[in-house]
Amino acid sequence: MRWNAINTFAVPESVKIGSGILYPRLKEFLKPTDRVMLIVDRIVDELYGQDVYAFLEGCCKEVKREFVHAGSLREAFLKSYYIVNRDFDAVIAMGGGKVLDVGKYASSMSKRPFISVPTSISHDGVASPIAVLKCDHNSVRSLDCKIPSYIIMDLDIIKTAPEKLILAGLGDLVSNITALRDWERAVQAGKAKMDDFAYIISGTAVRAILQYTHPDIRDTAFLTQLAESVVLSGLAMNITGNTRPSSGAEHLLSHAIDAAGKGTLHGLQTAVASILVEYLYGGNYEFIRDYLRQAGLPTTFEELGLTYEDYVQVMRTARTTRKNRYTILDEISYDGAYLKKIYDAVYGGTNGRQ
């Protein structure tokens, strides 16, 4: 036994979740001498950004407001250059995943503290060491970066987010169930290494939210737990240095939907796909389906706006979206009859189509 075999990993310096906490926590985290960059998009700027900008002007030495348009790697590079060139002390990003990922990557490259202020809980990347950014020809890359230094999740703001964004966050979290199954399977096949601590954290995150047997996405207690759980899920990814704790076959299927040009919100897609993956494992896929349905999420490909033909294409291409990610999709047949059997069992039939 190697007594010095200790894995070290970073955690946010502070995570604050509650109602009406945005301005008190910003004042707590920042100093009067700080020069800060505030990153938003146009929609968030109209809703909150102008007020936040005015508040920061009153408590900091200098504030520069920057806008995100495409959520691209180029935008992140330009902002990081500006941060270093103007010697800003901290970066604040307020918005959805696109804005937060630009801020996260720009602050990571410029080696500045990053304050993340989500306006919704649409996915589990809030506290993850990954930024998903657009590159050339509309391709998307998942890039390594540092996790936020501070996270402020003001529930008064999050409650005003469109319902589908909160549902997407719930769906992304619930899909941890099948991601963990795939992780175990990959370890058994010699295709991955297990990190027990990260595994426990990811599982704890999803089990905590499943305790809400009648989820109400506007309920403060439920939203608080959802916020805590997505932070834990991100922390699990930070421990492993990859997305294994929360990304398995269901995410590959979601990527394939996107690649086919049929994509909607990521978390809605992973939710629907997780039902299928749980079926492939012989697990209680009805439980996942019924839980998601009760919460108001889609549970079939049809509800995502996809046809049976789309389903077949997605199934046959999903493995190619991330070739080094071993999942149960590497073990099944892609014969038309078998794919129809899966579809009929999980989603209720193909109306006679082969």
* 128 annotated to bind ligand: yes
Question: Rg of the chain's alpha carbons, rounded to an integer?
Answer: 21
Rounded Cα distance between 314 and 253, Å, is 6
Whether 255 has a binding-site annotation, put simply, is no
Give the helix/strand (H/E) hosting 57.
Answer: helix 50-59
Exposure string over 305-315, b if 16+ CB within 10 A, otherwise e:
ebebebbbbbb
119 assigned ligand-binding residue: yes
182 assigned to a ligand binding site: no
What distances in angstroms separate CA 349 from CA 220, 281, 292, one per listed residue?
38, 20, 19
The Cα 253–Cα 74 span in angstroms is 27
- β partners of residue 78: none
According to the annotation, is 172 in a ligand binding site? yes
Q: Is 125 annotated as a binding residue?
A: no
- Determine if residue 209 is labeled as part of a ligand binding site: no
The SS3 assignment for 140 reads strand
The annotation status of 19 as a binding-site residue, yes or no, is no
Q: Is 80 annotated as a binding residue?
A: no
Q: Which three-class secondary structure state does DSSP give residue 133?
A: strand
Q: Is residue 121 a known part of a binding site?
A: yes
What are the start-end ranges of the E strands in the chain?
14-18, 35-40, 62-67, 90-95, 114-118, 130-134, 140-144, 150-154
Q: Is position 229 annotated in a ligand binding site?
A: no
Q: What are phi and psi of 150, to 5 degrees?
A: -135, 140
Is 100 assigned to a binding site?
A: yes
d(C-alpha 179, C-alpha 201), whole Å? 13
Q: Please report, in range form, the residues annotated as the binding site.
A: 97-101, 119-122, 124, 128, 172, 251, 266
Q: Please report, in range form, the residues annotated as the binding site for NAD(+).
A: 97-101, 119-122, 128
Q: Please report, in range form, the residues annotated as the binding site for glycerol.
A: 124, 172, 251, 266
